[in-house]
Each structure stands twice: as structure tokens, then as C-alpha cells.
Amino acid sequence: VVNKVTGRIRAKTMTALMGGSGAGKTSLLNALCGRAHYGKTTGTVYLNGHETSIEQHTDCIGFVPQDDTVYAELTVRENLIFSGKFRLPKGTTDEEIAELADETIANLGLSRVANSPVGDVRRRGVSGGEKKRVNIGLELMAMPSILFLDEPTSGLDASSALLVMKSLNHLVEKDGVTVVSVIHQPRKFIYDLFDSLILLGVGGQLIYHGPTEGAEPYFNRRNYLLPLGESVADWLIDISSGRLEPEN
């Protein structure tokens, strides 16, 4: 599914994982965070220059799936506290868990709805963007050093998607969390929040890995020209999917 992918994820940065449908984005994400239990994965992982295995570091990894995992009947704050009781080390006091929950709520911009039920299709609750941030908060209660996310803006309008990604950017800048996210055709103002890009092509081949601002000049040098008025992210997806050929 993913073939000979080599790259580097720098600490305290946001990395976008992009590619066309079927390129293996989620498979690569699962492999990176130790969740690819459904197939054979080979390769070498280095942490701070030293060879290691992902299994040795699961306690510092957070994973936010595309589907919501919150409890609809609980409030935002209750969801986070519940997660903290299961994820934090034994001996962590209720006061410490509550304090971390309140800090996480503030960091994610959820203070206004902290005591509101999350809700679902049967119960009125928080908005879609707020629910997505609650999902992120559930993982943050484990205090991870690196956070992997599978399409955190899926199903959200542009405004809600931007709030979610700005919350992640805030975590990087304030708390030094490293963020790696599968993102599907982000708008420019979301794309620009990322520091680096991993772009997968047809067959799970790596076709670009580097700074986000370096992607356009990289493909320009290979005779791909960005059409006037088109977003860089959409253009990159067209290239990665094979829908766009280089100009002569």
C-alpha cells in the first residue's frame, strides 16, 4: 500500500500528510503511530538519531481517528476527565486530572461549552467543530509528545475547519506538541499553518517531502506550473493523482 517512504518529522512542528484517494495516507499514518496491525510493515525508525521501535514509545503518542469517539451524554469537561482517568499514570489525583482538563479546554477554545453535553444526532449538543476539538482533547489528556490525526477537518465547514487547525497550531507553539495530520485538500489558510508536507502519489510512492513553501518551486522545476487562481493544495493533489502532466 505504501512503498519505500523515507522522511523526517521534526519536533514542535506541524506536518501535513496529503495525496489522492487510495494513495495510502491513512496506512502510512497508522504505520507511523504503531497502529498498522493489519499487514506487514518493514522499515527502521529513528528517534533523535537513535534506532528504536514505535512500540517503545506508545506512551508519548496520541492518535485522533477520523470518526468521533466522544460520549454524547457527557459534558465536554466530563469527557476529558473520563479520558484522563484511564490515560494518565496511576497516582494522578482527581484534582490534577481536573486541572489538566480545564487547561486542555482553554487551549482548545472550548471554555464556552465546557459544561455542555457533547450531544449526537438525537441530542442537541456542541457544534461539529467543537466536537472535533473534544476528540483532540481526549488524546491530549494523555499528555502526548506527538499527535497523529486522520482528517481532523472532515465534514466541517471552512470556518470550523480553520478553528480546529488553529487549535492544533496553538498546541505546537505553546506546548511543543508535534502534530502529524492527514489533510484532504485544505484551503490556503489551513495549508499555510503547516511547516512541512509529505505528499504521496499513485501506489503509495513518496513524491515530495519538505517544507510546505518549497512544494511549488520543487514542482515548477519539473515543469508543473500552478494555474492562475488555483490553490497550491488542489494543484498538488492533481499532480499526486496523475491527473496533471508536466508541461513541455
Residue-wise pLDDT for 64-90, tens only, equals 999 889 999 999 999 999 999 999 999
Beta strands 196-200 and 14-19 are parallel
Residues with Cβ within 8 Å of residue 65, at least 6 apart in sequence: 135, 150
Tell me the C-alpha distance between 147 and 180, whole Å.
6
Answer whether 190's CB lies under 8 Å from 197's CB. no
Give the domain 14-240 fold. Answer: Rossmann fold (3.40.50)
- 190: Cβ–Cβ under 8 A, 6 or more apart, which residues? 153, 161, 162, 165, 183
Question: DSSP 3-state helix, strand, coil percentages of the chain (rounded to 5)?
Answer: 40, 15, 45
Task: Spell out where the chain has E strands.
Answer: 14-19, 45-47, 50-52, 61-64, 146-150, 178-182, 196-200, 206-211
Write down the mean pLDDT value for the chain: 93
pTM: 0.93
Joined grid coordinates for residue 19? 495525496
Q: Where are the domains of the chain?
A: 14-240
Q: Categorize the per-residue pLDDT at 132 as very low, low, confident or very high, splitting at 50, 70 and 90.
A: very high
User: How far is residue 189's CA from residue 137's CA, in Å, rounded to a whole number?
Assistant: 23
Over residues 16-59, the pLDDT tens digits come to 999 998 889 999 999 898 887 777 788 888 888 888 888 888 88
Q: What residues contact residue 145 under an 8 Å CB cut-off, 6+ apart? A: 11, 60, 61, 176, 177, 178
Where does 33-114 have alpha helices with state H? 76-87, 94-107
